[in-house]
Amino acid sequence: MSTLKWSNKIDELESEKYKEYDKGNKYLSTYEESKRELEEIGIVPQWDFYNRAHEFLNMNIEDAINSNNKIINILAVMDRRVGKRFLQKLKDKFNNDLDIIVKIIDLRLENI
Q: Which pLDDT tens digit goes with each residue over 65-77?
A: 999 888 899 999 9
Q: Are residues 55 and 94 in the same domain?
A: yes
Q: Are residues 30 and 62 in the same domain?
A: no
Q: Are residues 4 and 30 in the same domain?
A: yes
pLDDT exceeds 70 at position 43 = yes
Q: Are residues 35 and 65 in the same domain?
A: no
Between CA 78 and CA 107 the distance in angstroms is: 9
Q: Are residues 37 and 62 in the same domain?
A: no
Mean pLDDT of 15-38: 70
Report yes or no: 42 and 98 within 8 Å, Cβ to Cβ: yes
Average pLDDT, the chain: 84
Q: Are residues 40 and 81 in the same domain?
A: no
Return the pLDDT at 57. Answer: 95
Q: Are residues 71 and 98 in the same domain?
A: yes
Give 11's pLDDT tier (boundaries 50, 70, 90): confident
For residue 66, give the DSSP letter.
T
Q: Are residues 72 and 33 in the same domain?
A: no
Q: Are residues 66 and 27 in the same domain?
A: no
Report yes or no: 20 and 37 within 8 Å, Cβ to Cβ: no
pLDDT exceeds 80 at position 1 = no
Mean pLDDT of 39-62: 90
Q: Are residues 56 and 36 in the same domain?
A: no
Q: Are residues 40 and 51 in the same domain?
A: no
Residue numbers of the domain that contains 105: 46-112
- The total number of structural domains in the chain stands at 2
CA distance to 79, 81, 88, 107, per residue, from 110 (Å): 15, 16, 11, 5
